[in-house]
Amino acid sequence: DNASPVQPITVLGSTGSIGVSTLDVVARHPDRYSIYALTANTRVDLILPQIKAHQPRYAVMRDEQSAEALSLQLKAAGISGTEVLSGEQGLLTVASAEVVTSVMAAIVGSAGLAPTMAAVEAGKKVLLANKESLVMAGHLLMQAVQRSGATLLPIDSEHNAIFQCMPARYQSGESLGLAAEGVRKILLTGSGGPFRQTPLDQLAAMTPDQACAHPNWDMGRKISVDSATMMNKGLELIEACWLFDTGPEDIDIVVHPQSVIHSMVEYDDGSVLAQLGNPDMRTPIAHALAFPERIASGVPSLDIIATAQLDFEAPDYQRFPCLRLATEAVTTGATAMAILNAANEMAVQAFLDQRVRFTDIPVIIEHVLATMSLVEPSTLAVVQEQDLEARQIAAEFIKGSHKVTG
Ligand code: NAD
Ligand code: MG
């Protein structure tokens, strides 16, 4: 018979919001996909049931301590088919293993960069949720895609929508650029987050739980805070520039509170193509997993009658200074984007730990960007050095600002 072989998949960050949605889609198609490796930070209790359900060849934990704890639990449960690895080396191993066809890159933050790069360099089909890696090292990642022949498919709902609305040559990685393909501009939509209408003088008092209560999407805490500051849209602007080989001048940010349209592409003839759907990440995940085929994702049909209304607004740069900082960083180029990302990760963590206020986040990022000298991001090591320096400067500033705002 001519049945295609089952594809072994690595899920980096399997215990997170995207990881769980990925396993949900994979479990619907045992004839197509099997799990080669699952990875988590330190939560043994979360990865253990995933291992029982999917029987991967490998499980990777961030440190040796949690790897040992997992090994003991697997032994106690009588599971011997899964080998436990740890640390960055473990992630690199399962991201680039010969037999793996696709890698879901769903670790949050800069920790995702090295394994994502490893998957790209190994020429895998890379399903990219970890937008931070493109923000940090977009030039290097895109160069590596060209060199290795890897397929990079966006999981971020907006970029997945843009990809779906793009001309065929963009989808096959052979495009000559937006203008040559008759694309006039990209419309990047965003909900505006939980604080779109909060009175400005109340923003400083917003708590981590309020920031993480997103109106439309159920996500990890870091990206939820990014959505509340709209840094998420700023990171996505940078992500779109790298993915679609264009500049911020060709991308309009549009606030669309219902999150039913996931983004749009406008053509020279005035046509505007949009991708619509329920706000459920299993749609872009299923799209990228099966591309160029289509498979069921478990997402219910969009009830367009119940939706009834689609609203659009211009973004408010006064309310969301992070949008301005991200736009400036992509215009500046060099390591500005890596510094922006590192400072943002530090500021968001400090906010989640209640060491700084919500409105301190852009202040911290602006301070770090103003303090550092930029360099050309010519190698991954250079990017990682700048990332580290930005984190140190942010940490010092956060310590000091605590006394002032205390
Ligand atoms: P999450 O916090 O729910 O999950 C993060 C995953 O990464 C977990 O499995 C965690 O164990 C692992 N992890 C965290 N720190 C790690 C470290 N230092 N080393 C190794 N593993 C580590 O996050 P999420 O919401 O699933 O987001 C994951 C990525 O996808 C982010 O880059 C985010 O921006 C992007 N994304 C998420 C959504 C969404 O709907 N959740 C949408 C678009 C893009
Ligand atoms: Mg998004």
Q: Which DSSP string corresponds to 341-357?
A: HHHHHHHHHHHHTTSS-
Residue 360's closest CA among 306, 326, 405, 293? 405
Task: Provide the 10 A C-beta neighbour count for residue 404.
Answer: 7
Tens of pLDDT along 264-298? 999 999 999 999 999 999 999 999 999 999 999 99
Rounded to whole angstroms, how far apart are CA atoms 297 and 237?
27
Domains of the chain (ranges, CATH numbers): 7-154 (3.40.50.720), 178-278+303-327 (no CATH), 333-406 (1.10.1740.10)
Angle of CA points 276, 234, 340, to nearest 5°: 150
Ligand 1 atom closest to the Cα of residue 41 is 11
Q: Judge if the beta carbon of residue 25 lies within 6 A of ligand 1.
A: no
E-state strands within 191-282: 251-255, 261-267, 272-276
pLDDT at 396: 98
pLDDT at 406: 42
CA 234, 238, 244, 249 torsion-angle sign:
positive
pLDDT at 308: 87
Q: Judge if the beta carbon of residue 19 lies within 6 A of ligand 1.
A: yes
* CA 177 centroid distance within chain: 24
Cis peptide before 292 (omega within 30 of 0): yes
Q: Judge if the beta carbon of residue 90 lies within 6 A of ligand 1.
A: no
Ligand 1 atom closest to the Cα of residue 107 is 7
Regions of the chain where pLDDT drops below 70:
1-2, 402-406
pLDDT at 173: 85
Tens of pLDDT along 86-132? 999 999 999 999 999 999 999 999 999 999 999 999 999 999 999 99
Token pair 């009175």 is found at 199
pLDDT at 206: 98
* Amino acid identity, position 38: L
* Amino acid identity, position 95: A
Rounded to whole angstroms, how far apart are CA atoms 142 and 339?
19
Residues making up the chain, counted from first to last: 406
